[in-house]
């Protein structure tokens, strides 16, 4: 057993781990703060770096607090939080440092703004899917499929915990077989919950391997009689042996399969499958920043548009909006949302951005393209198509700073574009994750 004593945590690294140095080797340690003095046990060691876990805290750094969660830290820790052990101002300091370190040395002339704080530091998440086991449900441990039980999560609304607890009890009473991913047996895989901003509407999603759900009417009656905020209960059927949560088929057990929500004073219909940012307050801050950078009366492509939240949220500044989205339900939601809000200068195409963007750019002369891709970023072919079209401005919103930094290398090659600014937003308090907005302009 390799033990290092008296390791000082010097900084926070991408991924949220504390970083110390020993014998010219970088040591990455989860659940540590800058200034911590710790004894650690090495778990994985390479030539120039290693990963370790804390066996003893000799002293703690600035901003450390009681996390107030029995599932945080330790050997078997919930993977939902990284920094619950430090206060919120310190979390923001860490995020600012990560953004500065990543982008400043690459783009010295770029304006990098201080991170915009989340309006809510707790109970901000409007969506959660919790895996279910024989003994409990919860959140997976970091880098594993070990389910860590919890009684109360600080990131999602308390009512989610109450509903999940009752749902689990009702399913056990109904003798619904719990899914076993080792041998792909059983049925109940996940309990999912989504709510709108004021929590007046809640969706419950039961993800099962089998279409059969015993005593489903009893389960529905038990949930809806206790929680009148539930407007819909969906059984999603995922027969595949995979890590993907949702399957292609579903049954509507009760009510409706969508939520109604508000963003920037617009109404949105959100299908249970559709992407919607988990922190509505932060999303409004992002849209305000985008609106300030967008030229009034622009013709805009909103790529990876989902249900149209960004494009429609900015529609008062846009002359013509063209959205692209690969999830068919989301495209239909986007069209309905445009009609519901009286936005008649928007249209939405169904397809993968990487596959149809080149064709779209031949027929649509855009003043600006908005990119909001998944965590993996934009495929390189789409980036080159954007460059070839000479789009005057790019607004690239990313939930992965590393993917953004990689994609910027393509967009900024040969100095065709200038990186005007990087803005960052705290979409996910208590975690290391950061939402970044890059603003690029075509060089004249």
> Is 135 a domain residue?
yes
Mean model confidence pLDDT for the chain: 95
Q: Taking residues 43-50, what's their average pLDDT?
A: 90
Same domain, 188 and 52: no
Q: How confident is the model at residue 109 (pLDDT cuts 50, 70, 90)?
A: confident
d(CA 262, CA 309): 10
Same domain, 134 and 114: no
In order of 96, 109, 190, the CA distances from 104 in angstroms are 11, 8, 41
Q: Taking residues 221-247, what's their average pLDDT?
A: 97
- Torsion angle in degrees (nearest 10) through CA of 304, 309, 315, 317: -80
Q: Taking residues 9-31, what's their average pLDDT?
A: 96
Question: By the 8 A CB rule, do 165 and 152 touch?
Answer: no
Copy the structure tokens of residue 91. Answer: 């979390």
Q: Taking residues 283-308, what's their average pLDDT?
A: 96
Q: Taking residues 18-22, what's their average pLDDT?
A: 97
> Is 83 a domain residue?
no
Same domain, 253 and 161: yes
Q: Taking residues 247-264, what's their average pLDDT?
A: 96
pLDDT tens for residues 135-174?
999 999 988 899 999 889 999 999 999 999 999 999 999 9
Q: What is the CATH number of the domain that holds 249?
A: 2.40.50.1070
Q: What is the CATH number of the domain that holds 49?
A: 2.40.50.140
Run of H or E residues at 357: helix 353-363
Q: Taking residues 173-191, what's their average pLDDT?
A: 95
pLDDT tens for residues 353-365?
999 999 999 999 9
In order of 157, 305, 353, the CA distances from 283 in angstroms are 18, 14, 22
Which residues are known to be catalytic? Answer: 399
Flag whether pLDDT at 266 surpasses 80: yes
Q: How confident is the model at residue 1 (pLDDT cuts 50, 70, 90)?
A: low
What are φ and ψ of residue 398, in 5° steps? -135, 140
What are φ and ψ of residue 247, in 5° steps? -95, -175
First to last CA, the chain: 60
> Is 402 a domain residue?
yes
Same domain, 248 and 140: yes
d(CA 349, CA 352): 9
pLDDT for res 107:
83
Question: By the 8 A CB rule, do 323 and 337 touch?
Answer: no
> Is 72 a domain residue?
no
Rg (CA), the chain: 23
Q: Taking residues 415-440, what's their average pLDDT?
A: 97
- Angle (CA) 95-401-413 rounded to 5° is 135
> Is 89 a domain residue?
no
Closest CA to 164 of 196, 135, 136: 136
149, exposed or middle or buried, with CB in 10 Å at 0-12, 13-18, 19+? middle
> Is 86 a domain residue?
no
Task: Report how many domains make up the chain.
Answer: 3
What's 235-285 look like in SS3? EEECCCCCCCCCCCEEEEEEECCEEEEEECCEEEEEECCCCCCCCHHHHHH
Same domain, 106 and 142: no
Same domain, 335 and 248: no
Lowest mean pLDDT among 43-47, 210-214, 379-383: 43-47
State the residue range of the domain holding 216: 127-262
Same domain, 317 and 382: yes
Q: What is the CATH number of the domain that holds 377?
A: 3.40.50.150
pLDDT tens for residues 365-423?
999 999 999 999 999 999 999 999 999 999 999 999 999 999 999 999 999 999 999 99
pLDDT for res 377:
96
- Angle (CA) 41-401-296 rounded to 5° is 160
Same domain, 426 and 344: yes
Flag whether pLDDT at 444 surpasses 80: no
Same domain, 214 and 109: no
pLDDT tens for residues 378-392?
999 999 999 999 999
Closest CA to 2 of 58, 31, 40: 40
> Is 426 a domain residue?
yes
Question: By the 8 A CB rule, do 437 and 396 touch?
Answer: yes
Same domain, 413 and 290: yes
pTM of the model: 0.93
Question: By the 8 A CB rule, do 190 and 131 touch?
Answer: yes
Same domain, 330 and 241: no
> Is 341 a domain residue?
yes
Torsional sign, CA 228, 232, 237, 242? negative
Domain boundary residue among 262, 293, 316? Answer: 262
pLDDT for res 75:
76
In order of 80, 176, 391, the CA distances from 155 in angstroms are 8, 28, 39
Other Cβ atoms within 10 Å of 206 Cβ, number: 27
d(CA 397, CA 306): 13
Same domain, 314 and 215: no
């Amino acid at each position: 057993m390799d033990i290092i004593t008296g390791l000082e945590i010097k900084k926070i690294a991408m991924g949220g781990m504390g970083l110390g140095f020993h014998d010219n080797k970088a040591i990455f340690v989860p659940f540590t703060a800058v200034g911590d003095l710790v004894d650690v046990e090495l778990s994985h060691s390479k030539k120039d770096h290693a990963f370790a876990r804390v066996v003893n805290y000799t002293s703690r750094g600035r901003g450390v607090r009681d996390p107030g969660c029995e599932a945080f830290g330790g050997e078997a820790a919930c993977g939902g939080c990284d920094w619950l052990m430090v206060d919120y101002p310190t979390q923001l300091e860490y995020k600012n440092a990560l953004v500065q370190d990543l982008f400043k040395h690459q783009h010295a002339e770029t304006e990098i703004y201080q991170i915009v704080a989340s309006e809510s530091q707790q109970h901000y998440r409007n969506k959660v899917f919790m895996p279910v086991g024989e003994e409990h449900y919860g959140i997976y441990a970091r880098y594993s499929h070990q389910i860590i039980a919890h009684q109360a999560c600080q990131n999602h609304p308390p009512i989610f915990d109450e509903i999940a607890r009752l749902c689990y009890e009702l399913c056990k009473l109904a003798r619904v077989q719990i899914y076993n991913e080792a041998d792909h047996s059983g049925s109940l895989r996940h309990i999912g919950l989504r709510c709108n901003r004021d929590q007046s509407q809640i969706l419950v999603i039961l993800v099962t391997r089998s279409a059969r759900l015993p005593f489903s009417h009893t389960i529905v009656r038990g949930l809806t009689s206790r929680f009148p905020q539930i407007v819909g209960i969906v059984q999603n059927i995922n027969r595949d042996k995979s890590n993907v949560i949702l399957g292609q088929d579903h049954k509507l057990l009760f009510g409706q399969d969508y939520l109604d929500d508000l963003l920037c004073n617009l109404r949105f219909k959100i299908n249970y499958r559709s992407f919607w940012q988990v922190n509505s307050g932060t999303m409004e801050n992002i849209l305000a920043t985008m609106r300030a950078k967008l030229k009034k009366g622009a013709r805009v492509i909103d790529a990876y548009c989902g249900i149209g939240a960004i494009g429609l949220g900015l529609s008062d500044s846009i002359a013509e909006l063209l959205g692209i989205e690969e999830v068919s339900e989301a495209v239909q939601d986007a069209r309905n949302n445009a009609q519901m809000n009286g936005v008649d200068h928007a249209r939405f195409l169904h397809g993968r951005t990487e596959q149809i963007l080149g064709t779209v750019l031949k027929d649509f002369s855009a003043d600006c393209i908005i990119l909001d891709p998944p965590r993996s970023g934009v495929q390189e072919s789409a980036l080159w198509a954007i460059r070839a079209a000479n789009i005057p401005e790019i607004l690239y919103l990313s939930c992965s700073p590393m993917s953004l930094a990689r994609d910027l290398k393509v967009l900024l090659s040969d100095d065709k574009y200038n990186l005007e600014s990087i803005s960052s937003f705290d979409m996910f308090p208590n975690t290391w994750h950061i939402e970044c907005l890059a603003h690029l302009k075509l060089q004249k």
